[in-house]
Amino acid sequence: MRFQPYRSPSTGREVRAVLFDTFGTVVDWRTGVARHAAAFAAAHGHELDAEAFADDWRALYQPAMEAIRSGQRGFATLDALHRENLDQVLRRHGFDPGQLGGEALDGLNKCWHRLPPWPDSVKGLAAVRRSYIVGPLSNGNTSLLLDMAKNAGIPWDVIIGSDMTRTYKPLPQAYLRTAGFLDLNPGEVMLAAAHNNDLHAGRKAGLATAFIARPTEYGTGQVADLAPESDWDLSASSIPDLADRLGA
């Protein structure tokens, strides 16, 4: 029987590509960063609350991008922003970055390239990929996303990093330029994400939307994004569940 692509109720178009938010939706950034930070601290004889370190580093993510989104500074890659923020986080946790050496700090910064996938991610993406174009729709730069995919076995068809779109979500151009690179109408692209705010912005830009629950992205005490907060096209408990709902 011929495969029938999912038709988005919100856009009225058949979905051709399913693009995924990556940090938190496809990969477990908190566990990965904490693991690398703990090893870094141990190698330097330093005690560390590694999960708090990961949370503090991640908390600087949006403010750093906002300076670019608002036009206060020119575009810089997420790798560059993470590296700028790293010194601040290290000081907060009792390190002196000036005593650590640039090579060691650059190595720690690369931990964002080596994040583990959620247990269902690789299997689920492979299932979606049988019927749809799959790729990230992420604020990560291309080399970061490429290294992450190679390390974690993530089966993307295409990687379009923020250094290609030259902008950051949730600005509309982050979504529209990605669709444009694929020569697709925005309504033929579905954004799959664990974050309701990302989905709101994607829908405003004309994309179809799917919520994927990641209730422990921020640990067991997470209070936000525990459930869909709007009438997204689809809502799933995992990426394999999303694949089923797409008929993949």
180: domain CATH number is 3.40.50.1000
What pLDDT score was predicted for residue 143? 98
What pLDDT score was predicted for residue 1? 58
CA dihedral 52, 56, 57, 60 (to 10 degrees): 170
Residue 125 has pLDDT above 90, yes or no: yes
Domain that holds residue 89: 29-113
DSSP string, 8-69: PTTT-SB--EEEE--BTTTB-HHHHHHHHHHHHHHHTT----HHHHHHHHHHTHHHHHHHHH
**Count of structural domains within the chain:** 2
**CATH number, domain at 91?**
1.10.150.240
Q: SS3 of 117, please? A: strand
* Amino acid in position 192: A
What pLDDT score was predicted for residue 99? 85
Residue 103 has pLDDT above 70, yes or no: yes
pLDDT in tens, 179-204: 999 999 999 999 999 999 999 999 99
pLDDT interval class at 89 (50, 70, 90) = very high
Structural domain includes residue 5:
no
Final residue in a domain of this structure, among 62, 80, 113: 113
Instruction: Pick the more confident residue, 2 or 216.
Output: 216
pLDDT in tens, 132-172: 999 999 999 999 999 999 999 999 999 999 999 999 999 99
Same domain assignment for residues 234 and 210? yes
Q: Tokens in use for 57?
A: 């580093």
pLDDT in tens, 36-87: 999 999 999 999 999 999 999 999 999 999 999 999 999 999 999 999 999 9
- Mean pLDDT, the chain, whole residue set: 97
Same domain assignment for residues 233 and 170? yes
Cα of first residue to Cα of last residue in the chain, in angstroms, is 13
**Nearest in space to 139 (alpha carbons), one of 68, 187, 210, 200:** 68
Same domain assignment for residues 165 and 104? no
What pLDDT score was predicted for residue 3? 84
Same domain assignment for residues 178 and 221? yes
Query: pTM of the prediction?
Result: 0.96
What pLDDT score was predicted for residue 71? 96
| Placement of tokens 């990929």 in the chain | 129
Residue 222 has pLDDT above 80, yes or no: yes
Same domain assignment for residues 119 and 206? yes
